[in-house]
Amino acid sequence: MIELTKIGKVFNNHNNKAVEALREISLSIKKGSFTSVIGPSGCGKTTLLKIIGAILDPSEGSVSIDGKSPSQALLKHYFGFVFQEPTLLPWRSVIKNIQLPGEILSEKKAIARAGNLVELAGLAGFEDLLPKELSGGMKTRVAIARALSFHPPVLLMDEPFGSLDEMTRDTMNSELLRIWEEIRATVIFVTHSIREAVLLSDNVVILTPRPGQVKKIIHIDLPRPRIREMYRLPQFGEIAGNIRELLIF
């Protein structure tokens, strides 16, 4: 579904010096799959996500989304975004935040779907609360439900659980797996957590330090549905250990 061919990205810093963020990134991502991108800080993970989602243009190379360019896919409402911070509107209730994309896109079906997404995201009973009345994990649930409100084929997630404590993060991993099993969007998920990447993913893309290049793609050969108890499996530990070794540069 998503094809990246020799993607490169160069920025100019405040001194107008060229900084190469990404170099010759080539990936093929299947429809309905869950792909995590992991690598050291500053290696271009978020930049890569933004290029796929048409927020940034590559300096070189090409991206194809179902045969479309990222900008064409964006106009067709292909992408749901979940950022590091939930970025909820503080004056709107939970259900009103979820309905926001539908209102912007004038999609009555998306607005009507908010009630179902409240149930799907485990937010029943919290519909009328404001963001300030929610925990960090609940805010993230709202952000995920909002991103799914118009049924995007691709869900782009940039470390959405990074600010959560470990117990809440484990819970949110389980919840994301449950939601994904139901919707089967194509997910690209940026993370710094090896354990999270192994539990969630079909494939883990390991990037080198800047400029980010694909060092290796690890296929996660664990059965689905995935559950937290898999952390204790020897196979899980072996896969996580292999990824950890590949992240030593």
Summarised one tens digit per residue, pLDDT across range 39-83 is 999 999 999 999 999 999 999 999 999 999 999 999 999 999 999
Give the pLDDT confidence of 135-171 residue by residue, as tens digits.
Answer: 999 999 999 999 999 889 999 999 999 889 888 999 9
Kindly provide the residue ranges of all beta strands, DSSP E only, lying in 78-232, ordered along the sequence. Answer: 79-82, 154-158, 186-190, 203-207, 214-219
In this prediction, residue 244 has a pLDDT band, given cuts at 50, 70 and 90, of very high
Phi, psi for 206 (deg, rounded to 5):
-100, 120
Q: Across the chain, what does the average pLDDT equal?
A: 93
Domain locations in the chain?
A: 1-78+187-249
Angle subtended at Cα 150 by Cα 66 and Cα 27, rounded to the nearest 5 degrees:
30
Q: What angle do CA 223, 226, 160 make, to 5 degrees?
A: 135
SS3 10: strand
Q: Can you give the pLDDT at residue 88?
A: 95
**What is the per-residue pLDDT for 109?**
81
Give 23-82 as a 3 state SS string. EEEEEEECCCCEEEEECCCCCCHHHHHHHHCCCCCCCEEEEEECCECHHHHHHCCCEEEE
> Under DSSP, is residue 8 helix (H, G, I), strand (E, B) or coil?
strand
* Whether the predicted pLDDT of 211 surpasses 90: yes
* DSSP state for residue 206 in the 8-state scheme: E
Residue 113 has pLDDT above 90, yes or no: no
Confidence of residue 20 (pLDDT cuts 50, 70, 90): very high
> Please, are residues 163 and 135 in contact by the beta-carbon 8 Å criterion?
no
pTM: 0.93
Confidence class of residue 178 from pLDDT cuts 50, 70 and 90? very high
Class of the CATH-defined domain 1-78+187-249:
alpha beta
Give the C-alpha separation, 147 to 153, whole Å.
11
